[in-house]
Amino acid sequence: HASLNWEVTLEEMMTQYGAVPDHYAIVRSDTKAVLDVVGKGYNPFQNREAAELTDALVGEKIAMYETAGAIDGGKRIWIQCKVPGQFRVPGTTADELEFYTTLTNSHGVNALRLFGTNNRIECQNTLNMALKGVGSQGMTIRHTGSLKAKVAEARASLGIIGRRVEEFKEEVAVLARTEISDKQP
């Protein structure tokens, strides 16, 4: 439903003088658009593989699919799953908060990321907000070496999601207990 059923291939780069050594164009299979240029050793991580990784979350009933999509012609994709349960900021009548686990994959120079956030992603802006909010937390998988081994490691580390939810709840509770005055900047 998210129109992510396409793959990327690595194509040799050519000029009128011949091949460009150790550089490849990442080409989207359905549109033939060049998404980026990468060097030797880059291993593409297909959208199907990203879905298989998030399927592990859904299959274990850790989360349920929420949103997915592609940005910038497919240069970056995301798949987001909602973690079951909601919580309210302690001591307030604020709206209930939800938590999501998100996988982003760049068909290019950025690594695959798996992280938890309370931002529901629908577009580039909300993706940027979520990425800024998590900083370096979560799991990062570079597009080099054995991707299969890294995916196996990611599946084994799915417990990070539950821990991040609990950390987030504690951070919110600390903020809710912190008193501030009108004179604080």
77: which 2 tokens?
Answer: 């994709």
- Per-residue pLDDT at 159: 60
91: which 2 tokens?
Answer: 């001591």
**In whole numbers, what is the pLDDT of the chain averaged over residues?**
84
145-169 average pLDDT score: 67
- Per-residue pLDDT at 37: 96
- pLDDT value at 120 more than 70: yes
7-36 average pLDDT score: 96
**In the chain, what are the helix, strand and coil shares in percent, each to the nearest 5?**
30, 35, 35
Each residue's pLDDT tens digit, 88-111: 777 777 777 888 889 999 999 888
> How far is 89 from 12, CA to CA, in rounded Å?
53
Q: Residue 4 in contact with residue 68, Cβ under 8 Å?
A: yes
